[in-house]
Amino acid sequence: MKHNQFIILVAICTCFVTKSFSQRGNQRIQNGIGLMGGITKFDIVTSNFEIEQGNGFLGGTAATVDIPFKWYNIGFGMQLSENHVNILGRPTSASTESEFIDYKLFAVQIPLLIHIKVFSHYFNVDVGPMFQYNSKLELVDDSQEGYYINNYNNLMAEDIVNISQFNINGVIGASLGIRNFKLKAQYIYGFTNIFNKLEKQNLETSGGDSRFKGNQSQIFLGAAVMF
């Protein structure tokens, strides 16, 4: 229920910016809203676990404030993403055979970006912070429940799902196209420790590091249509 309320609140804030025009001196400031979507590559940078990046998708709204005669525009929006990440584990504690455990992560992301006008509105460099509220890690294959996580003696697959759910990221990317259609590429890096909450759960960490640290890393390739 809390997740739904958060999404509705952000959607209302995002949709508040509609297509309109205003006068400021001799400059016309244009506000626009659009839709964006694409594919992702998701990873968590950590020394605690052996991780293989997974695939995902991202979609949402993108609002911009186009300021003529300035070297930048301002943008924000709401993005919904679903990503997979694979953590190496084993079927039993004593097993010598390992396999990747597939986890899924759902996130609501709010980027606040400056679009630097490298070549008018045709090519921009995008940079800024991103606020994220995400789900817990979810096991995709129920048959892997009870697996043991590699690098630890008795840490189990379901023990590490309760990760930190509010995170702050940084975004850098580029946009290429015409005013109403752009191709987008972004790199998103987590400034906060997404595994921080694991340290408060008194987990069985024998055989491995008792301090958990991980920073998410995400690549986005997609497109945006502005109205």
Region of residue 84 (left: phi > 0; alpha: psi -120 to 50; beta: else): beta
Percent of the chain, pLDDT > 90?
Answer: 78
| pLDDT value at 147 more than 70 | yes
Q: Among 2.60.120.620, 2.40.10.10, 2.40.160.20, 3.50.50.60, name the CATH number for the domain at 2-226.
A: 2.40.160.20
DSSP string, 119-169: ETTTEEEEEEEEEEEE---EES-GGGTTPEETTSSS-BGGGG-----EEEE
| Cα 54 versus chain centre, distance | 13
Residue 226 and residue 180 in contact, taking contact as beta carbons nearer than 8 Å: yes
Lowest mean pLDDT among 20-24, 86-90, 126-130, 220-224: 20-24
| Amino acid in the structure at residue 54 | G
pLDDT at site 130: 98
Q: 4: pLDDT confidence band, cut at 50, 70 and 90?
A: low
- Number of Cβ within 10 Å of residue 123's Cβ equals 14
| pLDDT value at 97 more than 60 | yes
| pLDDT value at 15 more than 80 | no
Lowest mean pLDDT among 19-33, 43-57, 84-98, 199-213: 19-33
Q: What is the mean pLDDT of the chain?
A: 89
Residue 15 and residue 61 in contact, taking contact as beta carbons nearer than 8 Å: yes
Residue 223 and residue 181 in contact, taking contact as beta carbons nearer than 8 Å: yes
Rounded Cα distance between 153 and 95, Å, is: 11
| pLDDT value at 25 more than 60 | no
For 101-122, what is the mean pLDDT? Answer: 94
Q: 29: pLDDT confidence band, cut at 50, 70 and 90?
A: low
DSSP symbol at 40: E
Phi, psi of 29 (to 5 degrees): -95, 120
For 126-148, what is the mean pLDDT? Answer: 97
Domain range annotation of the chain: 2-226
Rounded Cα distance between 190 and 167, Å, is: 7
For 29-50, what is the mean pLDDT? Answer: 91
pTM of the shown model: 0.85
pLDDT at site 3: 52
Percent of the chain, pLDDT > 70?
Answer: 87
Rounded Cα distance between 106 and 76, Å, is: 20
For 25-37, what is the mean pLDDT? Answer: 71
| pLDDT value at 8 more than 70 | no
Q: 18: pLDDT confidence band, cut at 50, 70 and 90?
A: very low
Q: 175: pLDDT confidence band, cut at 50, 70 and 90?
A: very high
Rounded Cα distance between 83 and 227, Å, is: 28
For 137-153, what is the mean pLDDT? Answer: 97
Tokens of 47: 């020394």
